[in-house]
Amino acid sequence: MIDLHCHLDLYPDPARMIAQCVERNTYVLSITTVPKAYRHTHQLASGATRIRTALGFHPQLAASRTSELDLFESLLASTSFVGEIGLDGSNEHRSTLPIQRAVFRDILDLCEGAGGKTISIHSRSAVNEVLQSIAPHAASCRLLLHWFVGTPRQVARAAEMGCWFSVGPAMLASARGRASVAAMPPSRVLPESDGPFASLRGEPLKPWDAWLMVPKLADIWGKQDDEVERAMFQNFRSLLSFGIT
Ligand code: MN
């Protein structure tokens, strides 16, 4: 199984969660939310060959953690994976957008300067602005749009730019989420859980629960579950063969 966006360090017992991922042979892109969390989170998974840790700076925390930008910069050379970064224009976080923009722009420039990274991107209520911000970096970075809810036109713009999309069962529980996914090119879609933030029927999702997206995606695409499973592994291989690992 594959989970391209999961906050392993935010479960009550991260070490146990990692051990369970190893037992289940689950590939996980472990997403952090602040630079200070990176070292420890990376360390916890150091023995797990199917887990990679991304260096993050969540837009919802950009204003309170701006002082960690120097730490972000000093850690960047140690990983090929960055995230979660992005912009959040929802009511609760709109007031910090000026700081979010500055942090997002700095990080994208740092990634570009480092020769490109694989980046997991948050775009809630800020889709157009995120697309505009990442466009200049599409040639050097692998852009993985997480929980991307856009119009068919916005999805098409992202796909033309070369973006990938990580899609989870919680996103597919909403009609807007399903409409967004229906517009995505099947060759660019990958599974995510967004656990433990995302939940289904009141239960926080675990990394292997990302796979619950398969039957839902099969419905949308009019395919069999096993065809979708094969497509997810094929997409995963082609994402990782892009150059940087
Ligand atoms: Mn997330």
pLDDT digits (tens, 9 = 90+) for 82-92: 999 999 999 99
Give the position of tokens 């289904």: 200
C-alpha distances in angstroms, 200 versus 84, 89, 154, 162, 203?
A: 21, 24, 27, 30, 5
Q: pLDDT by residue (tens digit) across 21-57?
A: 999 999 999 999 999 999 999 999 999 999 999 999 9
Ligand 1 centre from 31 Cα, in Å?
Answer: 7
167-193 residue pLDDT tens: 999 999 999 999 999 999 999 999 999
C-alpha of residue 6 to centroid of ligand 1, in Å: 7
**203 CA from centroid of ligand 1 (Å):** 16
Residue 242 has pLDDT above 60, yes or no: no
Q: What is the pTM of this model?
A: 0.96
Cα 33 to ligand 1 centroid, rounded to whole Å = 8
pLDDT in tens, 113-147: 999 999 999 999 999 999 999 999 999 999 999 99
CA 84 / ligand 1 centre spacing (Å): 6
